Amino acid sequence: MGQQEVPTTGRGKRRLGVMGGTFDPIHHGHLVAASEVAALFHLDEVVFVPTGQPWQKSHKAVSPAEDRYLMTVIATASNPQFSVSRIDIDRGGPTYTIDTLRDLRALNTDSDLFFITGADALSQILTWRDAEELFSLAHFIGVTRPGHDLTDDGLPKGGVSLVEVPALAISSTDCRARVAQGDPVWYLVPDGVVRYIDKRQLYRGE
Ligand SMILES: Nc1ncnc2c1ncn2[C@@H]1O[C@H](COP(=O)(O)OP(=O)(O)OP(=O)(O)O)[C@@H](O)[C@H]1O
Ligand SMILES: O=C(O)c1ccc[n+]([C@@H]2O[C@H](COP(=O)([O-])O)[C@@H](O)[C@H]2O)c1
C-alpha cells in the first residue's frame, strides 16, 4: 500500500487523533492502530471516544456504556498520549460521528482532528449521518484490518489517508464469544480488561 503524505496542520495547531468505537471490549487491535497512527501522523494526543448508542449495532446487545467506558480507561491509562472522552455517552441518544466531531472541535479550538477508522468502518462511512460534511471537520485515516479491504473509493480526494498497521486479527465479537465459551482472552485485550470482564461477569451469558 502506498503510504500517503502526512497532511500538514494549521500554524501552531495541536494534532488530535480521535479513535471512535463501541469498545465492547477494547482490544489490542484498537490500541495498536491508535499507537501506530499517532507515530506516523505526529499526533500530540489520541482521544478514545466510546459510543453511547451505536445505531448501526442496534440489532445486537451492547454492554452498558459505563462498562465500555471503564474498560477503555483501564486499557489506555498507562499511555500518557492516550485519553478517553465521555462526550458520546453523555450526549445521550444514538451516536453519530458528525456530533462527535462538532463537539470535539468546539472543545479543542487549538487542534486539527484526525479520525482513525479500521478498513471495515471506512467502507461503511457513506452510510453515516451527514457523511459529506464529516470530511470538512476532520482528516480521516483508514487503517488495515485482517479480512477487510482498505480503500478510499468514493471518498473525497485529500480527505482520507490509508495506512498499513501491524495486522492483529482480533475483534470484540470474537473476544465476547471466547469469554462466553470459557476461552481465554489474555493477550487479546489488556490484562486489566481481562480482570474487569471477570469482575463484572461480562459476556458470560451470550
Ligand atoms: N483488529 C483491528 N485492526 C484495525 N482496526 C480495528 C481492529 N478492530 C477494530 N478496529 C477499528 O476500531 C474501530 C472501533 O471498532 P469496534 O469497537 O467496533 O471493534 P470491533 O472489534 O470491530 O467490534 P465488533 O466485533 O463488536 O464489531 C473501528 O474503526 C474498527 O474498524
Ligand atoms: O455517524 C454515524 O452515522 C456512524 C455510524 C456507524 C459508526 N459510526 C462511528 O464509527 C466508529 C466505529 O463504530 P462501531 O459501531 O464499528 O464501533 C464509532 O466512532 C462510531 O460512532 C458512526
Output the nine-digit C-alpha cell for 123: 467502507
DSSP letters for 159-176 = SEEEE--------HHHHH
CB atoms within 10 A of CB 156: 13
Kindly report the CATH number assigned to the domain that includes residue 115: 3.40.50.620
**23 in a domain, yes or no?**
yes
Span 174-196, mean pLDDT?
A: 98
Q: Give pLDDT, residue 2.
A: 43
**1 in a domain, yes or no?**
no
**130 in a domain, yes or no?**
yes
Q: Give pLDDT, residue 1.
A: 53
Query: pTM of the predicted model, to two decimals?
Result: 0.96
Amino acid sitting at position 55: W
| Ligand 2 environment, Cβ below 6 A | 20-22, 51, 54, 56-57, 95-98, 121, 128-129
Nearest-5° Cα angle at 18, 13 to 20: 165
Residue of 19, 171, 173, 179 to test ligand 1 pocket, by largest number of atoms within 8 Å of CB:
171
The complex scores an ipTM of 0.99
**126 in a domain, yes or no?**
yes
Structural domain boundaries enclosing 42 = 17-177+194-200
Q: Answer whether 161 contacts ligand 1 (Cβ < 6 A).
A: no
**189 in a domain, yes or no?**
no
Ligand nearest to the CA of 123: 1
In whole angstroms, give the CA distance from residue 88 to residue 34: 19
Residue 184 preceded by cis peptide, ω within 30: no
Query: Would you give the distance in Å from CA 26 to the centre of its chain?
Result: 9
**89 in a domain, yes or no?**
yes
| pLDDT grade for 60, boundaries at 50, 70 and 90 | confident
| pLDDT grade for 4, boundaries at 50, 70 and 90 | low
Selected residue with higher pLDDT from 60 and 90: 90
Ligand nearest to the CA of 170: 1
**7 in a domain, yes or no?**
no
Output the nine-digit C-alpha cell for 177: 464469544
Looking at the structure of the chain, the number of domains it has is: 1
**12 in a domain, yes or no?**
no
